[in-house]
Amino acid sequence: MARTSYLFTSESVSEGHPDKVCDRISDTVVDLLLSRDPVARVACETLTTTNRIVLAGEIRCAADVAPEEIEAAARAAVRDIGYEQDGFHWETAHFSNHLHEQSADIAQGVDEGAGAFKEEGAGDQGIMFGYACDETPELMPAPITYSHQILKEMARLRKTGERPEFEPDAKSQVTLRYENGRPVAVTSVVVSTQHKDGVSLEDIRELVRPIVKQVLPEGWFPPEDEFYVNPTGKFVIGGPDGDAGLTGRKIIVDTYGGAAPHGGGAFSGKDPTKVDRSAAYVARYLAKNVVAAGLARKCTIQLSYAIGVAKPLSVYVDLHGTGRIDEAVLEKRLPEMVNLSPRGIRTHLGLNKAIYARTAAYGHFGRTPDADGGFSWEKTDLVSDLKSLA
């Protein structure tokens, strides 16, 4: 029997966290190539450390994209994040590009064959999960939602100049108490933020306080002894200068904060033929529509794929005992509503666009769909069809 009363914690990291810097650079490369060739193939990994940026991976693009353009795009991404520090500066960091052509062996499993004899297959095997719940208006778990919002607001204030004391690297962590399966209070908040030298820890604490109060529901601010700001002390050296970063190391931050399963594949740096990314997006899309339609308070969807095979090997739905419909009905009908082949997903969600750099921080899910097609997987346009099933 599922527990109904417990504490649950999720964390987020800012766009200036070393791993998130790498995610942003990798997704910037994806956007650059997709802007030149909508069917470009990209698998770009990034390493950052003290004044160094290294790219590696495989690409294929019908248009010519000069190495200088890739370097300029990567540096622009770092500049936008806000790194102009002695230990990591967008303009002076050493840059190495080791991207090369995609393996022909991988390409032959993914590409469509001649005529209609072979449909485009998945770019890799694997399992992908989507999740939604009714804890927040975004239909996301509350702890990860609040953790993201705290850091997003801190970044906004830093970039507008309202809070110049903040530097780009930061983390947040929010613990909620659940009663009868519903969040009822925040029991603790942790925020660690890089800051200008000379700013006192007490000053940082008081700068963070109103941001946390603004994000949390009224009356949910934790007890004073459970409000932790920079608990290790001074935090001046940060970002890639303080800790090396790699693409794809914050997959729980990117998804549901640990409140739902994760298939293990990272998103950033991958074009949408990679089902690690596109199938996780469509699984979230389907789960969100199920909850938005009122068919359940919680919904987990698992999809599985084999490299070179177009159709999913399995579709699994779990409504966690909150459903108004049989899961087996959804397992049959959802693939009829959305073609879950790699091409079908990309077509339905419009994924062959330069829409990925914006996903690299503050979560891939629970965001507002953009007019240009960004975050299309957050739309709830299946609600009317799903309601008819009930």
Q: Which of 158, 250, 284, 346 is an active site residue?
A: 250
C-alpha distances (whole Å) from 118 to each of 14, 114, 121, 149, 278 are 43, 7, 8, 45, 20
Residue set of the binding site for K(+): 45
17 is catalytic: yes
Q: Which of 27, 31, 45, 135 is catalytic?
A: 45
CA 73 to centroid of chain Cα atoms: 20
Strand partners, 52: 49, 94
Selected catalytic residue, list 56, 107, 185, 244: 244
Say whether 271 is catalytic: no
Query: Which one of 158, 274, 346, 348 is the catalytic residue?
Result: 274
Query: Is 370 among the residues known to form the active site?
Result: no
Catalytic option among 19, 124, 138, 271 = 19
Q: Which residues make up each annotated binding site for Mg(2+)?
A: 19
Query: Helix, strand, coil shares of the chain as percentages rounded to 5?
Result: 35, 25, 40
Q: Of 148, 270, 284, 288, which one is the catalytic site residue? A: 270
Name the residue among 279, 349, 281, 283 with its Cα closest to residue 310: 279
Catalytic residue flag (residue 171): yes
Q: What six digits make up the tokens of 91?
A: 């303009």
Catalytic residue among 129, 235, 267, 365: 235
DSSP string, 50-81: TTEEEEEEEEE-SS---HHHHHHHHHHHHHHH
Binding site: residue ranges? 17, 19, 45, 58, 102, 169-171, 234-235, 243, 249-250, 266, 270, 274
Q: Is 179 a catalytic residue?
A: no
270 is catalytic: yes
Of 11, 15, 20, 132, which is the active-site residue? Answer: 20
**Known catalytic residue: 332?**
no
Spatial CB neighbours of 294, under 8 Å, sequence gap ≥ 6: 324, 387, 390
Residue 367 annotated to the active site: no
Annotation says 19 is catalytic: yes
Is residue 262 part of the annotated active site? The answer reads no
Count, residues in the chain: 390
Active site residues per annotation? 17, 19-20, 45, 58, 171, 235, 243-244, 249-250, 270, 274, 276
